[in-house]
Amino acid sequence: MQKIKLLATTFGLLIFGLSMAQDGENGDQKGHENTNKFRQMYQEFATPNLFRTGSGAPGSAYYQQQADYKMDITLNDDTKEISGEQTITYTNNAPESLDYLWLQLDQNIRTKDSKALIKDGEAMPPAEQTASFVKKHYEPAFDGGFNITQVKDGNGKNLPYTINQTMMRVEMDQPLKSGEQFVLNIKWWYKINNHLVDGARSGYEEFPDGNRNYVIAQFYPRMAAYTDVEGWQTHQFWGDGEFALPFGNFEVSITVPSDHIMEATGTLQNPEEVLTEEMLKAYERSKSSYKSPVFIVTEEQAMVNEKGYSTDKATWVYKAENVRDFAFTTSRKYIWERQAVRMEDGSTVMAVSMYPKEGNPLWEEFSTKTVIQTLKTYSKHTFPYPYPKAVSVHAKNQGMEYPMICWNHGRPEEDGSYSDRTKFGMISVIIHEIGHNFFPMIVNSDERQWGWMDEGMNTFCQYLTEQEFARNNPAAVPSGVYPSRRGEPSKIVSYMKGDQNFISPIMSNPENVHQLGANAYGKPATALNILRETIMGHELFDYAFRTYAQRWMFKHPTPEDFFRTMEDASGIDLDWFWRAWFYTTDYVDIGIERVKKFHVTSKPNNRVKEILEQKGMTQSDLPALVYLVAEQSDEYKNEVVKRSEKENFKTLNEYLMDNFTPSERSKLKSPNYFYEVTFTKPGGIPMPLIVQYTYGDGSQETITYPVEIWRKNDKQHIRVIASEKEITSIEVDPKAQTADVDTSNNKWPKDQTDSDFDNFKKKVQ
């Protein structure tokens, strides 16, 4: 007993000696604050409160405002003007009083002196096309801002108001108390822009025969969002940051030429007034047509309609409940198809497509099909789609979303042919814009502040839908794999490895980033995909993501509500992930620095001998030890290799004989190869270490070490491997799951011949 204790102490001294020997000099050191990448997000996250809990769910005092609209709208196709009279009933559900009301006048970004026009710098080009030069410097700008002609309260009394660029403050006689309602009556008009000329998310497209397709949105003064986190959302509309809006109920009457066909947010209230008898029959029939779409207006009929020009008017009436916005489209050129979709929860939703003949043959083939797939996939990952319909409208070059309705590009060439690019571009944009019904139309995040909360989550679900679309439509996607532009980790690499001067964290306002597409769409979508595939697994991720969607359905979540819910519902601490992927511009780069192969021996190696000498000890002071010698060393070549294996393994074998019965020994592992592998992490993002080992017999094994391996050393991780088979090669992240920006350090032995370039070269030559 006594001897064992002594031996143990001696061995302890030996190890102590080893570790001391590794320490460097101890000069004057500076302290530091907690910079560990795994530290909690207390400084970044808002403190939980009764409105929003630490779990990420709405709190007991959570509230949201309500804005109900009754509107009469007239669209004049001759003057290309739109006018409206609207009554807003605003309910203050906040516990505090409101001194004034703010409304969004988004069309004011289109006034001729809009500050948004001069928000970015310019440079004098050496030469410019004359037409462009004249337009820029000689011609007056298009003036498409709001003309507000009346702001009254519910009793018809004029209210003082102030327009500050794209926002309008309305003052009331007295503050609006908690729980009270205020009625506003506003009249307005503006000139509609040609969205193919002046850009924008809405406007008209003019065809050579003079017909116009109108896609109309952000067209009425809308109540700004007022929340517990922002108060009034007063960030102006500069063009990139989209919208922040409260929920409400809408009753809208829209007057257009009587030969126009319309679709809009909400349910049509007077089909018998605006549809012909034949159309009405088809309209009713479509409600139970689950197998294929019913054409309310066929292509043949649309081609007749577009030749007409009626001076009569018709008024279409819509009602929509619990929506944050309202948009509509109108034209005499439209083909109109509707199909009933049976949802998982037993409800029926109408999938609707509306497009001019110029969209065919692409649109009749893919639009409604795509709408249906989107509703199904998104509902599976969030909640059953709660609105009665989803409409995909074809508007050239557009891709823009509103509740129940959206505008999508994808136009074949004039001869009706189209490339795969056009086809997949169209399917993708329909998935994306229909998908926006879930984020942000229902999970109503603040787009003005956080572009990624709807675009990123939506692009992620778009990726899932695209892949499912491919599985369900093999004829449309012969390769079997949908060509998704965003979602796969490899697709974000060229952004994340780029010049840091042009990269911003995801947690940035959309107005202030250099590359909005990568910043608010691609990177967050990829981050979520990596979470699902690699960090959390499908089961834990899908449950947590659904929990988030259902907790915040018809509410206003913040980024923390998402981050917290994902942890709360999965039981995984993800603070490190949010910090690295969402709050920094760090990137992933993990590699292999070196691999050392060791051999076991029973004789003390040089290092131990050295320490024994320093301590004035001899081998007899030590217990039976197993010594390890690196195979690259001289010591190995000169000594170990010269001894017999029996001699080298003597200590080990004796120990096994003394301590295990033959039957126990037969169950032991028998590693013959010992390695020390040093992994290096030049990149700032910690990620699980995925390593594929290839053995001498050709077999392979992939081991995923948890991300926590980086918690005490962010730069390097060393592992000892005892293997029964010889390891012939090692590769980090063999399936490109982590968005590693530099894969040249991912392999041991270093493999030069396997680059993308060489592979391609071999293929073509």
Partner 1 sequence: MSLSRDNVRLFKWLYKGTYLLLLILVPLLGFTAYHKFYLSVTDVNYNEENQAIQMISRYFIDDMEKLLMERYDITPRLMSDRELQNIDTYIETYLRDKFIIFIDGKKVDWNFIGKQYDIDVMKVYLEIPNIAKGKFHSIGVQSSVLYGVYPEQKNVVHIKVMDVKKSYVLIKEKHSAVLKLYD
What the block records as the tokens of 581 is 């992927």
Residue 521 found at the interface with partner 1 (CB under 8 A): yes
User: Cβ closer to partner 1: 420 or 539?
Assistant: 420
| Contacts (CB under 8 A) with partner 1, residues 226-245 | 238-240, 242
Asked if residue 475 binds partner 1 (CB under 8 A), the reply is: no
**Size of interface with partner 1, in residues (CB under 8 A):** 77
Binding mask 402-441 for partner 1 (x = CB under 8 A): -------xx--------xxx--xx--xx--xx--------
Of 381 and 486, which CB lies nearer to partner 1 in the complex structure? 486
Question: Which residues touch 427 (CB under 8 Å, ≥6 apart)?
Answer: 366, 370, 410, 466, 469, 476
Among 400, 434, 592, 629, binds partner 1 (CB under 8 A): 400
Residue among 425 and 688 whose Cβ is closer to partner 1: 425
Closest CA to 591 of 678, 702, 675: 678
Task: Return the H-helix or E-strand segment holding 468.
Answer: helix 451-472
Residue 5 or 762: which CB sits closer to partner 1? 762
Q: How far is the CB of 756 from partner 1 (least distance, A)?
A: 7
Q: Decide: is 715 part of the binding site for partner 1 (CB under 8 A).
A: no
Site string for partner 1, 160-199 (x = CB under 8 A): ------------------------------------xxxx
- Asked if 358 touches partner 1 (CB under 8 A), the answer is no
Least distance to partner 1, CB of residue 521, Å = 6
| 761 contributes a contact to partner 1 by CB under 8 A | yes
Report if residue 36 touches partner 1, rule: CB under 8 A.
no
Closer Cβ to partner 1, 342 or 761, answer by number: 761
Binding to partner 1 by CB under 8 A, coded x per residue (else -) over 120-149, reads x--x-x--xxxxxx-xx--x-xx-------
Q: Does 481 bind partner 1 (CB under 8 A)?
A: no
The answer to the question of residue 75 lying near partner 1 (CB under 8 A) is no
C-alpha dihedral (168, 172, 177, 181), degrees to nearest 10: -80
In sequence order, the 6+-apart residues with CB closer than 8 A to the CB of 569 are 56, 543, 544, 547, 548
Pick one of 48, 271, 498, 684: the residue that binds partner 1 (CB under 8 A): 498
In the region spanning residues 101 to 120, those forming contacts with partner 1, defined by CB under 8 A, are 109-110, 114, 116-120
Beta strands 248-257; 313-323: pairing state: antiparallel
How is residue 513 written in tokens? 């980033």
Report if residue 586 touches partner 1, rule: CB under 8 A: no
Cβ closer to partner 1: 481 or 626? 481
Q: Does 749 bind partner 1 (CB under 8 A)?
A: no
CA–CA separation, 326 vs 216, rounded Å? 9
The SS3 call for residue 249 is strand
d(CA 520, CA 459): 9
Residue closest to 217 by CA, chosen among 174, 254, 187, 181: 254
By CB atoms closer than 10 A (0-12, 13-18, 19+), residue 622 is: middle
Site membership for partner 1, residue 529 (CB under 8 A): no
613 contact partners, CB below 8 Å, separation of at least 6: none
217 versus 535: smaller Cβ distance to partner 1: 217
CA-based R_g, the chain, Å: 33
Extended beta strands in 228-283, E state: 231-232, 248-257, 261-264, 267-268
Q: Applying CB under 8 A, which of residues 57, 184, 200, 224 lies at the interface with partner 1? A: 200
Measured from the CB atom, the residue of 415 and 697 that comes closer to partner 1 is 415
CB of 691 closer than 8 Å to CB of 702: yes
* Shortest distance (Å) from residue 222 CB to partner 1: 16
* Using rule CB under 8 A, residue 753 touches partner 1: yes
478 contributes a contact to partner 1 by CB under 8 A: no
Given 455, 560, 561, 733, the residue binding partner 1 (CB under 8 A): 455
CB of 122 to partner 1, least distance (A): 9
- The yes or no reply on residue 363 touching partner 1 (CB under 8 A) is no
Minimal distance, residue 407 CB to partner 1, in Å: 9
Give the amino acid at 646.
K
Half-sphere exposure in the Cβ direction for 749 (13 Å, CA): 4
CA distance linking residue 141 with residue 76, whole number of Å: 22
End-to-end CA distance of the chain: 74
Concatenate the DSSP letters of all residues of 84-102 into one string: EEEEEEEE--SSS-EEEEE
